[in-house]
Structure 1
Amino acid sequence: MGDAMDNANHKNDKTAATLDEAMLLSGFGIYNIIHMLMSGLILMGMIMHCLVLGYVIPAAQCDLELTTQQKGWLSALPFTAIILTSYFWGWLADTKGRRTAMLGSMFLAVIISAISSFAPNLTSFAVLQFVSAIFMTGPSAVVYTFLGEFHNLRHRDKMVTLGSAFIGIGTIVLPCLSWLILPQNFSFYLEFLDIYYRPWRLLVVACTIPFALATIFLFFAPESPKFLYSSGRHEECLEVLRIIYAANNFKPKDSFIVKSLIAENQVTNSNKGRGITGVLSSMKEQTLPIFKPPLLPWICLTCFVQFGVFSATNGFYIWFPTILNALGSQESVNMKICDVIELTRNKAAADALNNTTIICDDTIYTSTFERSIYVGLVFFSMYLIVAVLVDFVGKKFILVVTLTITGICAISANLVYDQQIAVVLFAIFQMSGACVGLTNAVAVQLFPTKYRGMAVCLAMLSGRTGSMVGSYLIGLFLDINCGAGFYLFGGLLVVNGLTCLTLPNMKKEKVPETIATAPKDTQEP
């Protein structure tokens, strides 16, 4: 009887609301779009930071005297750093705040990455890239949670998908930047470092620009209202909602109808204990419930899907410029991808056997940049398609269909003899990367706020592990059995797609009843 009266009072009192209700009443407009663009810029900077080595390594192989083995572990280095530190960043995001975990780490990632462009040798370059990747890890996973928690129930899935589309934009901008910079012939000698500052070093710096801009924008952004709410900081949360309302509706903050937030039981304890013992205890508290029912099946599924998607997309993309460069160096177009790669390898082996003088060649062919841009455009288009369809067919259907089809295309890419068709199939294969943001959107809905940041970070940790494993194995397969890489990771994507059939139907959350009866002037524009 008492609960019924409380519900009736809540329905009649529009000044008190839950967070989801208050976010719906704050509207949707310019603030949400700007926040999505800022988060997208972070994701764009993140993917460019991870994948730039795919273009740097072929261009720097003479300056750094890289062997094939060194190229393999160097390309996997950023993902290794992410694997080692993702857990810490997930804990920090859930206990200290999303913005806190991201801001300082982004600034340091930009600075250290720029410094790495002056590295005089392979060891110093690898160390600086590794340290930079450690700080880049902070925003790489937290940003998905930060992005989703600023949008209401009606628009959350679409905005997370649109923000994730900047990953696709990054895969277009990266080859464009590389095409603009790498063919240049400048070489400035820096005596104090005993190096020649060549185009590949400038490319490393250029790829930090999106991260640098996003860091400036994030400095002026507030903390996630969902985190503030779950931490019991209701007044701070309400102030953020007032700012969103004022920007979206072009009205004074004081006119926001919600004056207080209804407390829920979920409160994050961010100050339990002190020192290393307190940190470890807090990490344990944030993690163990995720690996117990009812959350255990979902963390296993999201980690498995992210592992498969990252290993297939990032793992292959790191080597994609090398593969395309091999295709560009051969005149015949009626050869399978792996036949061309094996021909190039056998020629190099024959030269070495015959004691032929081998001149280091760091030329990157124009066709490599052109085809990379085409793949990026296809990749980006998939994000837009997903953003349009997600509200109509749901996340589960898109995951199952996309992962299955792209996996089949990966297997087929090495079975055709026409290079143009092979590149098209490879481009479709890379579209599986659009499932990263979608899987994180699923995680945001599956896990409660208290564990959401940690769950997404663990899933992304699994994904980065996939990137490291994928980049290493693909480099190995290119040397011993090229086709196995296409078949293995294509098959893994198909299995990922079938696994997603076990997901619950990810329908859009029901809009609270109180919203339907809200005054007309507080409805979303």
Structure 2
Amino acid sequence: MEPTLTCAGDNSDGKNAKITATLDEAMLLSGFGIFNIVHMIMSGLMLMGMITLSLVLGFVIPAAQCDLELTMFQKSWLSAIPFAAIIVSSYFWGWIADTKGRRPSMLVSMVLSIIGTLLTSFAPNLISFAILQFITGIFTTGPSAIVYTYLGECNNIRHRDKMVTFGSSFIGLGNVFLPCVAWIILPLDFSYPLDFLDISYRSWRLCLVVCSLPYVLASIFLAFALESPKFLYANGKHDEALEVVKTMYAVNSRKSRDSFPVKSLIVENQVTKLNEHKGVRAVFASMKEQTFPIFTPPLLQWICLTCFVHFGIFAATNGFYIWFPTILNSLALSDSTNMKICDVIESQVEVAAEAITNTTVICDDTIHTSTFEQSIYVSLAFYSMYFIAGALVDFLGKKLLLVATLVVTGMCGVGAHLAADQTAAVILFGIFQMSGACIGLVNAAGVELFPTKYRAMAICLSMMVGRTGAVVGSNLIGWFLQVNCGAGFYLFGFLLVVDGLVCLALPNKKKEKSTPLPESVPRPVQEA
């Protein structure tokens, strides 16, 4: 049904006509332009910072193993700490975002994450490093799910899918940024002794700090940004929501805010209730109010679907990415290029087992150059998928694109194990990692599936389950690499295929038609 705008006023020429509209109609009239692009870049930087800080340990741990005296078991659980922190705190951040606002939640969490990362870089031993990394991970979690809701709510329905998809592409950019930074910084041979901490400040510590730069830039942007108009509207702040939309219109059209045709918003029924409790009881009552409706029909089926799909995608992509430097190092040390990935890894495991009998062990924390190079190639392939998805989402729709991408990438994961040529295997593995681009598409679907009041909580919960998948995936893959390497590729490859088939249950969403306006009303700004 096409939305209808209501005109009020007694001037027959229409110049002084006042238009009352719903928030979605007003946002359509705000147009598309520089505001949306800058907002997308800011949101993308948040996602870029989140992914670099979550995955940086994959490169830092091999370089820090001598300073922190890490065993293989300690490396395994240490790499899972960022994801464990995300799992623990995702529910909390979802509640904060739905009750206190999207913008302040993300700004506070990013600033504290930056401070935490700086402190972690000075950790003198494994215990302090693990504790600081966990605390920092809690604050890193904040923007990781809220930003999808924030980005979706600050774009009109006509451009929402595309902007969420392009914003999500910064995750791919973060995957390119990370090995580039590691390649530049980790080989640097410097050591500054800090006697008061009994440490030497080496390159891996600097690498941690540099990986927080996207959060620094995003925090500067967000300090000047506006709150989500949908959040303001859902909480009864209709005038403030309209002011935000007017700002969007003024920036996009380069016209005066007063020329915006909509003068008031239609007040719809609000579901927000004042909490009768106080103190701790009020907090728990609010959490219950924000959570229970998500797990009751008709939202129950959608939270189950998004959680399952996120679990599979995170387990396959992030789970394997943590071990990717290890896999590439094994391939670099191999004498033959005509061996399957698992054959190479199994031979390396045998060598490592024989080395245990040695009485003298020399600590080696160097990373082979080809590890950085091939990580960048795979990350570029992953990054390109976001642009492909962004270009196709308007034509194919989220549902068909999700199904096709997950099925194809899942089969490529199986193919990476079967390929005898290492170059072909790395290419197939790169395509396999492209499935990570579907995270943004699932969250874009979530913006439509869940109402504003529960949206951030629902997406945070599904992302929390996804991060659980990353923890489960990384630990299972580490075990499979030592026990049965091929089974890992089969398991997670076919898991993506099942995810794709599950997405067939998503509803088909039609494109919003243009809004017919009176002749006296200025037309929406055209797409830039």
Scaled by the length of structure 2, the TM-score of the pair is 0.95
The reply to whether residue 505 of structure 1 matches residue 508 of structure 2 is: yes
The reply to whether residue 448 of structure 1 matches residue 451 of structure 2 is: yes
Deviations 1:312-367 (A, max 9, x none): 101111111111111111221111111111111211211223x2532111111111
Aligned residue number for residue 3 of structure 1: none
Partner SS state of residue 462, structure 2 = helix
Deviations 1:408-452 (A, max 9, x none): 111111111111111001000000000000000000011111111
Judge which range, 355-364 or 34-43, deviates more. Answer: 355-364
Structure 1 residue 311 displacement after superposition: 0.7
Aligned residue number for residue 80 of structure 1: 84
Partner amino acid, structure 2, of 1:224: S
Cα distance in 2 for partners of 1:272, 1:64 equals: 51
Do 1:80 and 1:468's aligned partners in 2 also have CA atoms closer than 8 Å? yes
Q: 1:194/1:300 Cα in 2 relative to 1: closer, same or farther (>3 Å)?
A: same
The reply to whether residue 405 of structure 1 matches residue 408 of structure 2 is: yes
Cα distance in 2 for partners of 1:10, 1:51 equals: 55
Cα distance in 1 for partners of 2:285, 2:38 equals: 37
Aligned residue number for residue 392 of structure 2: 389
Partner amino acid, structure 2, of 1:49: L
Cα distance in 1 for partners of 2:275, 2:100 equals: 9
Cα distance in 2 for partners of 1:509, 1:309 equals: 29
Cα distance in 2 for partners of 1:470, 1:155 equals: 34
Counterparts of residues 236-385 of structure 1 (less than 5 Å): 236-269=240-273, 273-353=277-357, 355=358, 357-385=360-388
Structure 1 residue 471 displacement after superposition: 1.1
Do 1:330 and 1:340's aligned partners in 2 also have CA atoms closer than 8 Å? yes
Counterparts of residues 56-135 of structure 1 (less than 5 Å): 56-135=60-139
Cα distance in 2 for partners of 1:169, 1:45 equals: 10
Deviations 1:233-288 (A, max 9, x none): 01111111111111101111111111111111134347553211111111111111
Aligned residue number for residue 519 of structure 1: 521
Do 1:77 and 1:130's aligned partners in 2 also have CA atoms closer than 8 Å? yes
Partner SS state of residue 260, structure 1 = strand
Partner amino acid, structure 1, of 2:428: L
Deviations 1:83-105 (A, max 9, x none): 11111111111111111211111
Structure 2: gaps (5+ residues)? none
Cα distance in 2 for partners of 1:516, 1:214 equals: 40
Scaled by the length of structure 1, the TM-score of the pair is 0.96
Q: 1:325/1:289 Cα in 2 relative to 1: closer, same or farther (>3 Å)?
A: same
Deviations 1:158-201 (A, max 9, x none): 00000000000000010000000011111111111111111111
The reply to whether residue 193 of structure 1 matches residue 197 of structure 2 is: yes
Counterpart pick for 1:151 among 131, 155, 159: 155
Q: 1:8/1:112 Cα in 2 relative to 1: closer, same or farther (>3 Å)?
A: closer
Structure 1 residue 482 displacement after superposition: 1.5
Do 1:17 and 1:260's aligned partners in 2 also have CA atoms closer than 8 Å? yes
Judge which range, 22-31 or 8-17, deviates more. Answer: 8-17
Structure 1 residue 475 displacement after superposition: 1.2
Partner amino acid, structure 2, of 1:438: L
Structure 1 residue 43 displacement after superposition: 0.3
The reply to whether residue 183 of structure 1 matches residue 182 of structure 2 is: no
Deviations 1:380-422 (A, max 9, x none): 1000000000000100001001001111111111111111111
Partner amino acid, structure 2, of 1:418: D
Q: 1:456/1:259 Cα in 2 relative to 1: closer, same or farther (>3 Å)?
A: same
The reply to whether residue 494 of structure 1 matches residue 518 of structure 2 is: no
Deviations 1:80-134 (A, max 9, x none): 1111111111111111111121111110001011110111111111110100000
Structure 1 residue 305 displacement after superposition: 0.3
Deviations 1:464-520 (A, max 9, x none): 111111111111112222222111111110100011111111333444x44586734
Partner SS state of residue 193, structure 2 = strand
Cα distance in 1 for partners of 2:450, 2:522 equals: 33
RMSD, aligned α-carbons: 1.7
Partner amino acid, structure 2, of 1:519: V
Cα distance in 1 for partners of 2:82, 2:299 equals: 29
Partner SS state of residue 414, structure 1 = helix
Aligned residue number for residue 459 of structure 1: 462
Partner SS state of residue 259, structure 1 = strand
Structure 1 residue 370 displacement after superposition: 0.5
How many corresponding residue pairs?
A: 518
Partner amino acid, structure 2, of 1:340: V
Partner SS state of residue 409, structure 1 = helix
Aligned residue number for residue 238 of structure 2: 234
Do 1:379 and 1:431's aligned partners in 2 also have CA atoms closer than 8 Å? yes
Cα distance in 2 for partners of 1:403, 1:49 equals: 26
Partner amino acid, structure 2, of 1:135: F
Partner SS state of residue 100, structure 1 = helix
Partner amino acid, structure 1, of 2:398: K
